[in-house]
């Protein structure tokens, strides 16, 4: 069994040199792989993490407007991994979420769903700038005693029943009990293991950017469903020049979204205001870069192979409608680190078939449910049929009338 990952090592390593063997080798130092590495190393498990990209350039020097909504369960994971405490910028708590339905340029339907501070004992989530998370991950990766960072580097992985041999392209080699594929949606380790992948396309592209606005957001988020796709406003911590700041994730039809994203600032701002469904933030001004992402969902048919585990986007990718993509990856890590830390304390093999099966059984069914839920939400709400619109508005308003149902939704989304 042979699997490989790509790139070159820019140091003075010599061919044939052996690096120390490790318990776990993680391929991919994105937010999911890097957090797993920090969490395991903190508990005395030896880890090597490989990324084909150099890590410091991932910390964009300027404000770039991309941010993650981190739920309560994943926040606790980041705290346990020692990452949360070194975030260079304050996160912004989400304390209210308004869910509405409408059409561009029109006020939202009068039937709505609102999650308020009374529905939960803590914020629904925390908005963390992508760049700030990267800075904190890089710092933590480099201060863990049991952790070796190999980046930029590429490796070839040979997996056998009793362990894996990892060969860097500069010739250095080491053994690992298990290899974790955290190498993103296009995971090479997943395809080399022959794990089938199912893909769903939405014909939608997301425009992601930051906006400054006239009035404060009061830590409130908006999910406004429009016929071409959902429009989300997520509160962010303000800066000196922009005290009232939010992130926008605006999904629209492929082709159309790219045209909107290329509009001059003034026209783009008016299009955003037309999609809010209300005027509570007042006049808006785009800040920083605009990003576009074609949207699709995908899932691996299984999360394991001999001495191999898939985590994060390598295992699943979902529609960003509920801002849960990274949270799902973090939930993989919560389960996997829990399983591995317990097994390590008992002196068990961290790459044995029983441990791998436990991980898949704990994560895959819940992830498939979330994928199905976000898929259904998008199909139900990206629809202009008047009968479907009325039915979903009544559904939204119905949930709003029952505090117990609202609280159940909140608990699930927060991962608690």
Ligand X SMILES: Cc1cc2nc3c(=O)[nH]c(=O)nc-3n(C[C@H](O)[C@H](O)[C@H](O)COP(=O)(O)OP(=O)(O)OC[C@H]3O[C@@H](n4cnc5c(N)ncnc54)[C@H](O)[C@@H]3O)c2cc1C
List residues binding ligand X (CB under 6 A): 5-6, 27-33, 50-53, 68-69, 154, 182-184, 188, 206, 208, 249, 293, 312-313, 320, 323-327, 329
CB of 237: closest distance to ligand X in angstroms? 15
Distance CA 224, CA 220 (A): 13
Tallying the residues shown for the chain, one arrives at: 416
| Residue whose CB is less far from ligand X, 109 or 367 | 367
* Cβ count near 84 (within 10 Å): 20
DSSP summary character for residue 50: E
* Cβ count near 385 (within 10 Å): 10
CB of 53: closest distance to ligand X in angstroms? 4
| Residue whose CB is less far from ligand X, 34 or 396 | 34
Please list, residue by residue across 268-287, b when 16 or more beta carbons sit within 10 angstroms of its beta carbon and e when fewer do. Answer: bbebbbebbbeebbeebebb
Distance CA 115, CA 96 (A): 6
| Residue whose CB is less far from ligand X, 230 or 320 | 320
Do 39 and 63 touch, CB atoms closer than 8 A? no
CB of 276: closest distance to ligand X in angstroms? 18
| Residue whose CB is less far from ligand X, 277 or 415 | 415
Please list, residue by residue across 14-47, b when 16 or more beta carbons sit within 10 angstroms of its beta carbon and e when fewer do. Answer: eeeeeeebbbbbbbbbbbbbbbbbbbbbbeebbb
Distance CA 223, CA 278 (A): 12
CB of 368: closest distance to ligand X in angstroms? 16
CB of 107: closest distance to ligand X in angstroms? 26
CB of 304: closest distance to ligand X in angstroms? 16
| Residue whose CB is less far from ligand X, 109 or 327 | 327
| Residue whose CB is less far from ligand X, 58 or 109 | 58
* Residue 82 Rama label (left phi>0; alpha psi -120 to 50; beta): left
| Residue whose CB is less far from ligand X, 42 or 169 | 169
Q: Which are the contacts of 398, defined by CB distance < 8 A and separation ≥ 6? A: none
Residue nearest to ligand X (CB): 30
CB of 166: closest distance to ligand X in angstroms? 11
| Residue whose CB is less far from ligand X, 29 or 109 | 29
* Cβ count near 389 (within 10 Å): 20
CB of 208: closest distance to ligand X in angstroms? 5
DSSP summary character for residue 21: P
| Residue whose CB is less far from ligand X, 287 or 393 | 287
27: tokens are: 């391929």
| Residue whose CB is less far from ligand X, 185 or 302 | 185
**Is beta strand 96-101 parallel, antiparallel or unpaired with respect to 220-226?**
parallel
CB of 194: closest distance to ligand X in angstroms? 16
Distance CA 131, CA 38 (A): 18
415: Cα within 13 Å, side-chain hemisphere: 29
SS3 letters across 158-219: EEECCEEEEEECCCCEEEEEEEEECCCCCCHHHHHCCCCEEEEEEEEEEEEEEEEECCCCCC
- Residue found under tokens 């490790």: 22
CB of 267: closest distance to ligand X in angstroms? 22
């Amino acid at each position: 069994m042979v699997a490989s990952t790509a790139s070159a090592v820019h140091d003075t390593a010599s061919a044939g040199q052996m690096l120390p063997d490790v318990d776990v080798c993680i391929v991919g130092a994105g937010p999911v792989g890097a957090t797993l590495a920090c969490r395991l190393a903190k508990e005395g498990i030896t880890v090597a993490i490989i990324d084909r990209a150099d890590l410091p350039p991932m910390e964009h020097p300027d404000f770039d407007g991309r941010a993650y909504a981190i739920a309560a369960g994943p926040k606790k994971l980041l705290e346990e991994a020692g990452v949360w405490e070194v975030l260079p910028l304050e996160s912004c708590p989400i304390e209210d979420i308004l869910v509405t339905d409408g059409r561009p340029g029109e006020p939202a339907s009068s039937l709505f769903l609102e999650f308020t501070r009374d529905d939960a004992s803590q914020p629904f989530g925390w908005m963390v700038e992508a760049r700030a998370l990267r800075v904190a991950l890089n710092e933590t990766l480099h201060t863990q005693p049991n952790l070796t960072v190999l980046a930029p580097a590429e490796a070839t992985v040979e997996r056998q029943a009793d362990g894996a041999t990892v060969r860097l392209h500069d010739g250095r080699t080491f053994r690992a009990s298990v290899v974790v594929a955290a190498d993103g949606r296009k995971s090479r380790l997943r395809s080399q293991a022959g794990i089938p992948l199912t893909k769903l396309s939405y014909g939608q592209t997301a425009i992601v950017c930051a906006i400054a606005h006239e009035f404060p957001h009061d830590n409130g988020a908006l999910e406004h469903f429009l016929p071409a796709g959902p429009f989300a406003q997520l509160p962010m911590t303000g800066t000196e020049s922009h005290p009232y700041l939010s992130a926008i994730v605006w999904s629209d039809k492929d082709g159309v979204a790219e045209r909107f994203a290329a509009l001059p600032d003034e026209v783009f701002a008016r299009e955003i205001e037309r999609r809010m469904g209300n005027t509570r933030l007042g006049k808006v001004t785009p800040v920083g870069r605009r990003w576009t992402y074609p949207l699709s969902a995908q899932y691996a048919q299984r999360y394991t192979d001999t001495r191999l585990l898939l985590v994060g986007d390598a295992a699943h990718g979902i529609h960003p409608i509920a801002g849960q993509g990274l949270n799902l990856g973090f939930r993989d890590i919560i389960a996997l680190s829990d399983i591995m830390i317990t097994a390590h304390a008992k002196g068990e093999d961290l790459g044995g078939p029983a441990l791998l099966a436990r991980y898949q059984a704990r994560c895959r069914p819940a992830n498939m449910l979330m994928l199905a839920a976000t898929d259904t939400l998008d199909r139900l709400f990206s629809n202009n049929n008047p009968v479907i619109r009325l039915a979903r508005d009544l559904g939204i308003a119905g949930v709003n009338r029952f505090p117990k149902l609202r609280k159940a939704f909140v608990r699930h989304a927060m991962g608690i």
